[in-house]
Structure 1
Amino acid sequence: MAAEKEEVRVQVDGRTLTISNLHKVLYPRTGFTKGEVLNYYAQVAPVLLPHLRDRCVTRIRWPHGVAESSFFEKNTPAGTPSWVRTAKVPTTGSRAQSTSDTLVFPIIDDLATLTWLVNLAALELHVHQWTVGRNGQPRNADRLVIDLDPGEPAGLHECCQVALMVRDKLAERGLDARPVTSGSKGLHLYADLPKRLPSDESTALAKEVAEELQGEHPKLVTATMTKARRGGKVFLDWSQNAGSKTTISPYSLRGRERPSVATPVGWDEVEEGAEDPLGLEQFSPAQVLERVAEHGDLFA
């Protein structure tokens, strides 16, 4: 217990940070410790940070590990260092200029900020599809995302099959999709927008694709939010493009029973997963670091 509570001071990007509880087990099923979580994020930072840059970050924190309760955190917590970049954002989904209630998000632009937040047991990092400009104000969405969420007994195999359909629908609209395993059950497909769009327009575009595929493949695809109607189907969640919604960032850990990561993959891997029920699985932190060393950033 004494070792678990030990604090160490480290230098990260010229900042002095106090890191605590390095031996604390955050994933009891595998014994994965807080020190290992910090080590993963430090190693994956070169490919993770570019995808967090200029994006407000909502964190999910597990102070006592994934077997215990967690909580969402949008605002910067008490004790936030003065050097952490922040953005004040209206709470309205439209993010219109307003003097009403606001949220103060952290923005992770460097390894020091990443390390500081991860030390608070922020295992999951969720971001919006819009960025913050140099003036500190939210901009319109620069990308679109569709979350492929399988309803049992459907799984990642069915998600891969549907992902190929979504890719083609987006291509018809001049959009180039990039697949990322969710680190949970399904897949996320991202597409950079040729020009920034208000969130309601990007949401409408994603919904159009989802409803089109639901009409063409009603036994496999649903665009309906109601969970009772998802059994055996892949739900195409178009709503994560709303201004107030977030999606797990590529390369973020997930707070599952075992440590897993939202992992960029190639379309060849998705095609293999569509053919073979065991052709694609969710990835562990060690596997992700091996993939980055071999392939670089597939989400770049």
Structure 2
Amino acid sequence: MTPITEVEGRRLPLSNLEKVIHPATGTTKGEILHYYATVAPCLLPHLRGRPLSFLRYPDGPDGQLFFTKNPPPGTPSWVKTVSVPRSEEKDARQVLVEDLPSLMWAANLVVEFHTPQWTADAPALADRLVLDLDPGPPATVVECCRVALRLRERLAADGLEAYAKTSGSKGLHLYVPLEPAPSERVQAYAKQLAVEAEAELPALVVHRMTKALRPGKVFVDHSQNNAAKTTAAPYTLRARREPAASAPVTWEEVEACGDPGLLAFGLTDMAPRIQDHGDLLAPLLDPDRAGRLP
């Protein structure tokens, strides 16, 4: 029998709690649910108002992975959904996760949480810019940190403040809070930054996705500013053999990173980090921190 748990007045069937999802550490689905309940105060503000896409991995990272934007079958009536513009569908809808019951319902599906750079009430009007720094082996997050520091300087020259988090995979994400601007304009500016970085650091940076160009370099992916694209949300766990988290980091940690292991954070690391630092990405939620594109 599937156990029923009540979360803030909502009854949730939580299934297969002892099932191992992350085989490298033996992490169970129940431990994943506990993780999301613990980080919810920091995670939920970054999801609120943003139509979610899910990368589902119910049988772990070695099982079937599938990406979905539509509300999954069986979505409870009390889980909010919102109409979103999508070229291939007229009346497309996506899930909003804005409270703890909705978060626990989604986490029970075993998902990565992915968000666009805009909110549901202003589609394709980005309120943040993101640069995804992806290292091509043998480059690692150490090289990503070097690139991140240079991009931070470049953004500051335009009056923009950057914040960093690990991708939860191999690289780093840089976020910049913005006064809302059309996604096309934000993407064009992000591409300009990537092209400039490659011109300045040709041995370290590439701005094109072509795999043949990427070994030993950091791909500065600007495409996630496209209104149709999404980025792994802060604090989400990733579909990897170990339960790696997309963790906000300080610039001091970025500057000091000489070993890839220094910026690798898992499920058990996040509660102590939140206790020590709070939400390092809270400035993204503060309208007074938003910068204006040049």
On whether the aligned pair clears a TM of 0.5, the verdict is yes
Summarize deviations over 1:81-125 as a string: whole Å, max 9, x none.
Answer: 1111111112139xxxxxx53421101100111111111122x10
Structure 1 counterpart of 2:58, from 54, 63, 70: 63
Alignment-derived partner of residue 288 in structure 2: none
Alignment-derived partner of residue 101 in structure 1: 90
Q: Which moved further from structure 2: 137-146 or 45-54?
A: 137-146
Structure 2 counterpart of 1:237, from 212, 218, 221: 221
Alignment-derived partner of residue 297 in structure 1: 279
One-letter code of the match for 1:146? L
Q: Which has the higher strand share?
A: 1
Summarize deviations over 1:137-165 as a string: whole Å, max 9, x none.
Answer: 62510000000000010001000000000
Paired residue secondary structure (1:90): coil
CA contact (8 A) 1:84 1:107 kept: yes
Paired residue secondary structure (1:253): coil
Deviation at residue 278 of structure 1 after TM alignment? 4.6
Alignment-derived partner of residue 43 in structure 2: 48
Where do 5+ consecutive residues of structure 2 fail to align?
A: 283-294
Summarize deviations over 1:185-239 as a string: whole Å, max 9, x none.
Answer: 000000001x211110000011011000111111100101111101100000000
Whether 1:119 aligns to 2:108 is: yes
One-letter code of the match for 1:39? H
Paired residue secondary structure (2:101): helix
Whether 1:91 aligns to 2:86 is: yes
Paired residue secondary structure (1:131): coil
CA contact (8 A) 1:250 1:262 kept: yes
Matches within 5 A, 1:130-279: 130-133=118-121, 138=123, 140-193=125-178, 195-273=179-257, 276-278=258-260
Distance 1:164 1:279, change over 3 A: farther
CA distance in 1 between counterparts of 2:192 and 2:107 reads: 37
Deviation at residue 295 of structure 1 after TM alignment? 1.3
Aligned pair count reads 282
Alignment-derived partner of residue 12 in structure 1: 7
Paired residue secondary structure (2:64): coil
Summarize deviations over 1:50-97 as a string: whole Å, max 9, x none.
Answer: 00010011111112122211110110012211111111112139xxxx
Where do 5+ consecutive residues of structure 1 fail to align?
A: 1-5, 94-99
CA contact (8 A) 2:140 2:260 kept: no
Matches within 5 A, 1:14-33: 14-33=9-28
Paired residue secondary structure (1:214): helix
Alignment RMSD:
1.3
CA contact (8 A) 1:87 1:106 kept: yes
The alignment's TM-score, normalised by the length of structure 1, stands at 0.91
Deviation at residue 8 of structure 1 after TM alignment? 1.1
Paired residue secondary structure (1:59): strand
Deviation at residue 29 of structure 1 after TM alignment? 1.8
Paired residue secondary structure (1:46): helix
CA contact (8 A) 2:165 2:174 kept: yes
Q: Which moved further from structure 2: 261-270 or 166-175?
A: 166-175
Paired residue secondary structure (1:207): helix
